[in-house]
A and B are shown apart, each in its own frame.
Chain A
Amino acid sequence: MLMFFYFSTFFLCGLWVFCMDRKHLLITLLSLEFMVLSLFVLMYYYLCGFNYEFYFVIVFLVFSVCEGSLGLSILVSMIRSYGNDYYRSFGMLQC
């Protein structure tokens, strides 16, 4: 039960920073990586109960690294078109 609270706090801290609309986009991407890290620990803990079948951890890491690099490439294209990565400059498509 203690592990539940630990994982929840770990993940929700990352989610809090992810949703908090900080100054830079890079912070959001970093907090996404933080969430991925908490998911990694959670998955490690979970798969210990399945006869230590850790092969899915590899798949998870591959996908999350792809996601992180896609986020970085979006950051690069953002900087190339706006000149900065501030959240304040993203008002182009407001509805």
Chain B
Amino acid sequence: MPNNSTKILLLTTLTSGILISISSNSWFGAWMGLEINLLSFIPMMMEKKNIYTTEASLKYFIVQAGASSMLLFMVMMSAMEESMLINSDNLYTQMLMNTPLLLKGGVAPMHWWFPGVMEGLNWNNCLILMTLQKSAPLSLISYQINNDMFLEMIIVTSVMIGAIGGLNQTSLRKIMTYSSINHTGWMMSAMITGNDMWVTYFTIYSMLTLTVVSIVKTTKLSFVNQMAMTEKKNKLTKFLVFTSILSLGGLPPFLGFMPKWMVIQAMMTNEMKTTATMMVLMSVVTLYYYMRMTYSSLMMLHLETKWLIAQPINKTPKHIILLTSISITGLMMSEMIMNLD
């Protein structure tokens, strides 16, 4: 159970691990950064000492330690191969080096640890796991990416699994996990097409996730039926949840549509029409389960239980309102600024 100063220390080393790994010259430095990141995130997961956090940290540790040692093995083997053999096949080298990084980032065919780990954490650590922990592996992938069949397969599977896996879930953490997997597929395609477009996508995705997580954290929701049972008079919370989730799903008037728009545009110019169609269709499926999360709470005659503890309406924290208003008006604002000149 870390106290505040421990938390500050661990958060600093976590961030510095990410910075070391994304700004290092060699693969050894990148490996060191990933290792520092792992070593400082595991104690942060143990915020409450119970059976869930223990198992989640165990799963996370096993997966990440295995992936980092595999990464180091692949790096050294490929370096020795390039120095020894003259015409070494580059395609397989890139594939082999990307696979442990994809495992670390929780991208689709290697995603099986991700929902289980998320289920055992509290919302703060879920937020870190969905946003900060993805940034180092994804940027390491983006340094060595090129457009080939392997990555296209990764994109399609991660988009599909992120859409279909979330359909039958009742836990909000798992729904957020599968939406994160889906968005990671979009980020990979942004990496293929544009130079730094995936950074934009990642930033906007992180902000929208921060919005949803902070709302859900203050109202203490963790399952879908609890969302439907929120108080009838508390229209503000319902509105905030609904708009920010639609924005995360990428519906046009909201901010979440903007990175998807950019990615679709870039894929159209790069002649990747089949993959783009697949991604758009699957994002409709994700929108379906986002809608199902919130839709029943907006009904006029929905269930309201007697044992509901009423939350005071004027207690909605200010930062949630700020974040939600950014996610509602962000696209319109940025369009206005761009068309101003």
Residue positions of A touching B, CB distance < 8 A: 1, 4, 7-8, 11, 15, 18-19, 25, 28, 32, 35-36, 38-39, 42-43, 45-46, 49, 56, 59-60, 63, 66-67, 70-71, 74, 77-78, 81-82, 90, 92-95
Q: CA A60 – CA B69 in complex, angstroms?
A: 11
Given A81-B50, A93-B116, is A42 in contact with B73 using a C-beta cutoff of 8 Å?
Answer: yes
Q: Which residue of A7, A18, A25, A70 is within 8 Å of B66 (Cβ)?
A: A18
Chain A nearest CB from B177 CB (Å) reads 9
Question: Which residues of the partner chain A approach B62 to less than 8 Å between Cβ atoms?
Answer: 28
Pair A32/B69 contact, Cβ less than 8 Å:
yes
For the complex, count residues of B whose C-beta is within 8 A of A: 38
Return chain A residues, CB-CB under 8 Å to B81.
4
Q: A18-B66, A93-B119 are in contact. List 15 more A-B contacts (CB 8 A).
A: A7-B77, A46-B76, A63-B32, A63-B35, A66-B39, A67-B35, A70-B42, A70-B61, A74-B42, A77-B46, A77-B54, A81-B51, A81-B54, A93-B52, A95-B119
A4–B76 alpha-carbon span in the complex (Å): 11
Q: Is the CB of A39 within 8 A of B72?
A: yes
Residues of B within 8 A of A77 (CB): 46, 49, 54, 57
Interface positions of B (Cβ within 8 A of A) = 28, 32, 35, 38-39, 42, 46, 49-52, 54-59, 61-62, 65-66, 69-70, 72-73, 76-77, 79-81, 83-84, 115-117, 119-120, 174
Provide the residues of chain A in CB contact with B77, threshold 8 Å.
4, 7-8, 42
In the assembly, what is the distance between CA of A65 and CA of B59, in Å? 19
Q: Do A93 and B117 touch (CB < 8 A)?
A: yes
